[in-house]
């Protein structure tokens, strides 16, 4: 697929993805969602990609949904399908399709929020693993001010990132707020001068790509995310035990220990594309029922 709304650059294991509609502050469209989904499939399949950085072209990160259609922007009309019994099933939320796909990604994703991130512009970052912000960044969960409600599965993600009280404050007021407030609430982990933002994201990505086992990171990412919904730590213990048993007898664990003892950089050889354990994925993916 040739991308019209995304720019990509792969260097030293780090894929930098730039949302590229600068004249529209990188506003989200169906086309952008489709390209994102295709790119994530490529990222998971390509062992040369160890980490993904996401940023925006120009002065914005993503200003939310493209509203150029006016008041009918979110009106799906008769779209959707009719289920048994004549009940209409609503069309699936495009932002949610994207965030669910990010959630399943095998590679860590770093958001480098360089400017406005509003609506789906911010909710799409919630399943990303590290969020950095420029001092110029602004955030807003503005749905109630547009007569809408949270989308992109953000009612699940946002309270897990910042807690229910702060999540509800931001969603109920719909106000736009700055990077320092985002930092204080844990929405982002660092606030940086604009010129330092991408450099810091690349530093973090490089540390992952240069020093860690790709399979270890892929397993760890899914272990941490999936356990957010676990009912008891025993669920984590069961998965931990399987993963430690599997990895402990593989090449990367041997290399990790030997390189430490020999005081040299590790050279990990296992590949996400072919060396994941047979029990991965260990969870059952829920079906969508509208």
DSSP-derived letter for residue 146 is G
**What is residue 65's predicted lDDT score, i.e. its pLDDT?**
82
**What is residue 31's predicted lDDT score, i.e. its pLDDT?**
95
CATH number at residue 219: 1.10.12.10
**What is residue 279's predicted lDDT score, i.e. its pLDDT?**
96
Do residues 169 and 226 both lie within one domain? no
Tell me which residue range forms the domain holding 175.
6-68+87-208
All residues at 6 or more sequence positions from 62 whose CB lies less than 8 Å from its CB, including other chains: 19, 25, 26, 27, 28, 56, 116, 117, 118, 120, 121, 122, 124
Do residues 138 and 23 both lie within one domain? yes
In a domain, 73, yes or no: no
**What is residue 158's predicted lDDT score, i.e. its pLDDT?**
98
Residues 198, 172 contacting (CB under 8 angstroms): no
**What is residue 69's predicted lDDT score, i.e. its pLDDT?**
64
Ranges in the chain, pLDDT < 50: 78-79
**What is residue 85's predicted lDDT score, i.e. its pLDDT?**
59
Do residues 262 and 218 both lie within one domain? yes
**What is residue 103's predicted lDDT score, i.e. its pLDDT?**
98
How far, CA to CA in Å, does 289 sit from each of 28, 87, 269, 286? 25, 12, 41, 9
Which token pair is 73? 């922007």
Which of 193, 208, 223 delimits the end of a domain? 208
CA distance 143 to 172: 9
**What is residue 270's predicted lDDT score, i.e. its pLDDT?**
98
Residue in 58, 64, 65, 183 with CA at minimum distance from that of residue 133: 183
**What is residue 71's predicted lDDT score, i.e. its pLDDT?**
62
Which of 181, 208, 235 delimits the end of a domain? 208
CA distance 7 to 2: 10
In a domain, 158, yes or no: yes
How far, CA to CA in Å, does 69 sit from each of 52, 63, 238, 264, 267? 32, 15, 50, 58, 52
For the chain, the residue count is 290
How far, CA to CA in Å, does 38 sit from each of 2, 12, 113, 212? 10, 22, 22, 26
Which of 208, 228, 259 delimits the end of a domain? 208
Q: What is the pTM of this model?
A: 0.94
- Averaged pLDDT of the chain: 94
Do residues 55 and 177 both lie within one domain? yes
């Amino acid at each position: 697929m040739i991308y019209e709304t995304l720019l990509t650059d792969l260097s030293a294991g780090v894929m930098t993805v730039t949302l590229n509609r600068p004249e529209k502050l990188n506003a989200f469209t169906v086309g952008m969602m489709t390209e994102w989904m295709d790119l994530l499939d490529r990222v998971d399949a390509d062992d040369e990609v160890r980490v993904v950085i996401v940023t925006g072209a120009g002065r914005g990160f993503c200003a939310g949904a493209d509203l150029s259609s006016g008041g009918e922007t979110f009106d799906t009309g008769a779209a959707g399908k009719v289920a048994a019994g004549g009940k209409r099933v609503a069309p699936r939320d495009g932002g949610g399709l994207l965030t669910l796909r990010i959630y399943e990604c095998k590679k860590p994703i770093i958001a480098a929020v360089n400017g406005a991130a509003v609506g789906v512009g911010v909710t799409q970052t919630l399943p990303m693993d590290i969020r950095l912000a420029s001092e110029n960044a602004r955030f807003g969960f503005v749905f109630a001010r547009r007569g809408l409600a949270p989308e992109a599965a953000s009612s699940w993600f946002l309270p897990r990132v910042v807690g229910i009280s702060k999540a509800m404050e931001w969603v109920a007021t719909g106000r736009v707020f700055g990077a320092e407030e985002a930092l204080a609430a844990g929405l982002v982990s660092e606030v940086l001068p604009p010129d330092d933002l991408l450099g810091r994201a690349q530093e973090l990505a490089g540390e992952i790509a240069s020093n860690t086992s790709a399979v270890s990171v892929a397993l760890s990412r899914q272990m941490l995310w999936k356990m957010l919904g676990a009912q008891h730590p025993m669920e984590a213990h069961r998965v931990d035990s399987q993963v430690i048993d599997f990895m402990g007898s593989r090449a990367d664990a041997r290399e990790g220990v030997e390189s430490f003892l020999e005081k040299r950089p590790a050279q990990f050889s296992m590949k996400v594309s072919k060396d994941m354990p047979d029990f991965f994925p260990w969870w059952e993916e829920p079906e969508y029922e509208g």
